[in-house]
Amino acid sequence: MNFIHSMDNPILHTSIEYLKGVGPKRADVLRSDLNIYRFRDLLTHFPFRYIDRSTTILIKNISEDYSSVQLLVKISSIKEIGQPRKKRLLVSAFDESGSIQLVWFKGIKWIKSFIKVGEQYVVFGKPNQYGGKINLNHPEIELAEKNKNKIGTLQPVYHSTEKLSSFGLHSKGIENLMRTLLAQVSNVIPPTLSKYIEQKNNFPSLRNAYANIHFPEDQKILQKSIFRLKYEELFFLQLGMTRQKISTQKRSKGYLFENVGKLFNNFFSDYLPFELTNAQKRVIKEIRKDLGSGSHMNRLLQGDVGSGKTLVAVLTILLSLDNGFQACLMAPTEILANQHFKTIESFLKPLGIHISLLTGSVKKSDRRVIHESLENGSLDILVGTHALLEDKVKFKNLGLAIIDEQHRFGVAQRAQLWKKNILPPHVLVMTATPIPRTLAMTFYGDLEVSVIDELPPGRKPINTIHRFDSSRLKVFQFIEDEIKKGHQVYIVYPLIEESEKLDYKDLMDGYESIVRRFPLPEFKVSIVHGKMKPEAKDYEMSQFVSGKTQIMVATTVIEVGVDVPNASLMIIESSEKFGLSQLHQLRGRVGRGADKSYCILMSGYKLSNEAKIRLETMVRTNDGFEISEQDLKIRGPGDVMGTQQSGVLDFKLANLAKDGQLVQLAKIDVDELLKRDGDLSSSQNQSIKIELARQMKLKPNWSNIS
């Protein structure tokens, strides 16, 4: 209970065991079931809903359509029926409009001990049909009298567990503890925000916010209290991240790329295949500013599928070479590394730049050549997979590392890249699909973010259609029509995993029926899946890329990066099995050329609600940012990011999918605070400084997020 050690007020840091009404046994269960160790943990065990005691419904108006109802009733009879182990407690209740039966199968003794005929109760429960009548099973029940004595009409409901309930700590029991706790601690809760921030945002005091989130005086103050406490979660996370970012920038000097030299200018004037979009130009400017600043660049490049991130990467690479540094680009799969290698090579060959590809399947002898030329500096650019990270791969002078498809690489891997030169090379991270803004702001708080929010001109939106498996014949006809127009077609099946024999069978069955329907010599079909050898994959891919085959049957191995502008139709089989960002990524394989493109989502009739939402979202919009927001709503931040660090985003109250505006508000306040008082030394910001330190201590993994 040492203040310096805990960084918390000693009373709030008290072990929960010592709260009146807890004791060692209950403390054990509070710890194991709810992670409540200390007074503060209980204080922040917030209600998950509130019962509005002021709104009751008449019994005659109850129907099964209500998910829950609240009644003000009197009890007319209490009856226990059934055999010993199968007992039921039937309680008849009535109000002025009618009567209803309340039923209990468990805890009968306890209920019986406290309800009495003739007394008035508030009953809360879910109506259900039984034998042609509506009744309530296991409703919450409470004396109406007692209820009246409470301040306000909103009663908190707390998460509890069966085990806690058996120790008397059902929601009601926790509520009682909370009353004891609040009486004891509300005077000692240390301030968190500065006065001026509270005033600016019109927040209730912290003490008020805690009192009202547990025992609201009314709806209005409840909402304000929740708002404030949510804000604090977002404020302190972003404050921690932003301060870290600033200190990293200050700390880590980076190589100075002063020149925009011959290569960049040459390429720009003579070899640029098309006019850059305004968004590409803006992003290049942002990158150039970083590179010319003398600090280490740590930038995230966000852009929708097909927005032209590769070209931005190429231009950034040229800046590196122009300043006498090498560059590397790392991709998550061999196919993608290959594709990048070919694209970049075709862009840069005419400039006499040396570029190599390093993946797991590069032969030993070739590897040696690559290693040597990297070390003696004759190799300018290395493209590859995580094979780049190996210690054997040493650069003469690496100045820039570009990482494609961020969330497949971990933090540790990025750190390995930093070690490849004396100062860390500049890092540009490119995402495969957009990340929701709120996530980018919070999760990647320590990365600068550039956004390409514009597609190259002439792109027509891809027409997306959902079809059930029963329309397959029509879909086949459509495939034929597209091929007759000279176009190419992808047909994608769910991923083949070692254990998923079914997927493999589906793919092979599908492939056979395609080949039967589209026979040689008129039609040629390629196939690529995860069980093939890399050479075989490459061969099949190249057949399709060069237009020798018209149909590519594949698993999601083609998900990212593949670029065949002549492909105009994407068919996704069992599309209900795919996640949103995967579907969007797959769809992005078409619509890259001048012709109208289509995406057909095939599925069975049986669809889960989530699958329905996913497919509807895909049909409705082509906008990757909108899709990522939807994805966040469905899956939550942890799953969207797919990383182990998502624990940092486990807020008690805030919800990144819903609280975007609040994220923004907190961000503005954080930025303003740091502009005025970067090291938090002013006396008015001391409470912020102390609270931040307390939270950082709790979440040491903050430092790993980048």
Of 138-146, 275-283, 420-428, 617-625, which segment contacts ligand ADP by CB under 6 A?
Answer: 275-283
Max CA distance (Å), the chain? 95
Residue number, nearest CB to Mg ion = 561
Least separation in angstroms between residue 310's CB and Mg ion is 5
345 binds ligand ADP (CB under 6 A): no
Rounded to the nearest 10 degrees, what angle do helices 624-635 and 609-620 cross at? 170
Q: Which stretch binds ligand ADP (CB under 6 A): 152-160, 177-185, 269-277, 405-413?
A: 269-277
Please give the structure tokens belonging to residue 279.
């968004």
Both tokens of 610, joined, read 């989530």
Residues 557-576 that bind ligand ADP (CB under 6 A): 563, 565
Q: Considering beta carbons, is residue 405 or 506 the nearer one to ligand ADP?
A: 405
Q: What whole-number distance in Å separates Cα of residue 616 and Cα of residue 604?
A: 15
Regarding 305 and contact with ligand ADP (CB under 6 A), the answer is yes
Is there binding between residue 592 and ligand ADP (CB under 6 A)?
Answer: yes
Which of Mg ion, ligand ADP, none is residue 468 near (CB under 5 to 8 Å by kind)?
Answer: none
Q: Which stretch binds ligand ADP (CB under 6 A): 31-39, 307-315, 533-541, 696-704?
A: 307-315
Asked if 277 touches ligand ADP (CB under 6 A), the answer is yes
**Is 317 near ligand ADP (CB under 6 A)?**
no
- Does 456 help bind ligand ADP (rule: CB under 6 A)? yes
Integer angstrom CA distances of residue 568 from 309, 460, 658: 21, 11, 36
Which of 669, 672, 684, 696 is CA-nearest to residue 203?
669
Q: How far is the CB of 561 from Mg ion (least distance, A)?
A: 5
Tell whether residue 311 is a contact of ligand ADP (CB under 6 A): yes
Q: Does 591 bind Mg ion (CB under 5 A)?
A: no
- Which one of ligand ADP, Mg ion, none is in contact with 274 (Cβ closer than 5 to 8 A by kind)? ligand ADP
Cβ-closest position to ligand ADP: 308
Nearer residue to ligand ADP within complex by CB, 135 or 406:
406
- Specify which residues 301 forms β-bridges with: 430, 450
Relative to beta strand 551-554, strand 488-492 is: parallel
Pick what 591 binds: Mg ion, ligand ADP, none; C-beta below 5 to 8 Å, kind-dependent.
Answer: none
- Residue 38 touching ligand ADP (CB under 6 A): no
Is the CB of 339 or the CB of 617 nearer to Mg ion?
Answer: 339
Of the two residues 161 and 343, which places its CB atom closer to ligand ADP in the complex? 343
DSSP state of 437: H
Q: Which stretch binds ligand ADP (CB under 6 A): 234-242, 304-312, 608-616, 661-669?
A: 304-312
**CA 239/CA 693 separation, integer angstroms:** 11
Q: Does 214 bind ligand ADP (CB under 6 A)?
A: no
Axis-axis angle for helices 334-348, 534-545 (nearest 10): 50
Give whichever of 182 and 276 is closer to ligand ADP, judged by the CB atom.
276
Strand intervals (E) in 60-119? 69-81, 88-95, 98-104
Nearby residues of 450 by Cβ (< 8 Å), 6 or more positions away? 282, 283, 286, 287, 299, 300, 301, 302
Q: Give the shortest CB-301-to-ligand ADP separation in angstroms.
A: 9
CB 81 within 8 A of CB 88: yes
Residue among 301 and 491 whose Cβ is closer to Mg ion: 301
Q: Which amino acid is at 267?
A: F
Which listed range, 173-181, 306-314, 320-328, 632-640, lies at the site for ligand ADP (CB under 6 A)? 306-314
**Measured on CA atoms in the order 447, 450, 455, 456, is the torsion positive or negative?**
negative
The Cα-based distances of 452 to 271, 317, 442, 560, 564 in angstroms read 22, 18, 19, 18, 21
Nearer to Mg ion among residue 295 and residue 431 (C-beta):
431
Choose which of 139, 204, 240, 303 interacts with ligand ADP (CB under 6 A).
Answer: 303
Residue with tokens 């190429």: 314
Site string for Mg ion, 529-568 (x = CB under 5 A): --------------------------------x-------
**Structural element, H or E, at residue 581:** helix 580-587
Torsion of CA 646, 650, 655, 659, to 10 degrees: -80
- Coil/strand/helix, residue 456: coil
Q: Which residues make up the interface to ligand ADP (CB under 6 A)?
A: 274, 276-277, 280, 303, 305-311, 456, 563, 565, 592
Give contact residues for Mg ion (rule: CB under 5 A): 561
